Structure 1
């Protein structure tokens, strides 16, 4: 299952560069976000981008790590990386597939907003 992190920021190119630099420094494909192996990478998607300030990143979540846990880790990572980027919004998106007894697949789009404000 793919999880996408959509970040609205004033400086998407700078934030993406910072994430790539983290990955290169760790000699990894993904930028490290936590010890649990949550990571980020920029990967082209067929998702339409509604605004020029939207950065869509592929979020790697290891099996067994809940989306809520990953969201907390991403929140801390983005807060550290924010600097002058002025992140306006961050949302994790994913598609859940369920299979019924007849073999029919149902897909449900899910999303969770990552609140960066502590208030």
Structure 2
């Protein structure tokens, strides 16, 4: 279960987009980490409000591999890649990369 509700995330995104304040000020007012708010806003701008509510989704090995290839081809960070694909947590891409490069049986 997510620490923040989907409605809270959406409210935070709208507060940033409509308020004219920076990430840090809005995040401080809402008591969330500013990098988390930045990730929510980026995901919302690329994929809409439903990108904020995808907990527990499973991805195929082919999809994971395509995400990693896109990230390397376009020289994106984990956070940028997660926002591009509408993935909730950029750390998950790092896990996929470690699995892929280690050749683990659970690799993407």
Q: Which TM-score band (shorter chain)?
A: under 0.3
* Structure with higher helix content: 2
Q: TM-score, normalised by structure 1?
A: 0.25
* Structure with higher strand content: 1
Which structure has more RCO (C-alpha within 8 Å, separation ≥ 6)? Answer: 1
Q: TM-score, normalised by structure 2?
A: 0.27
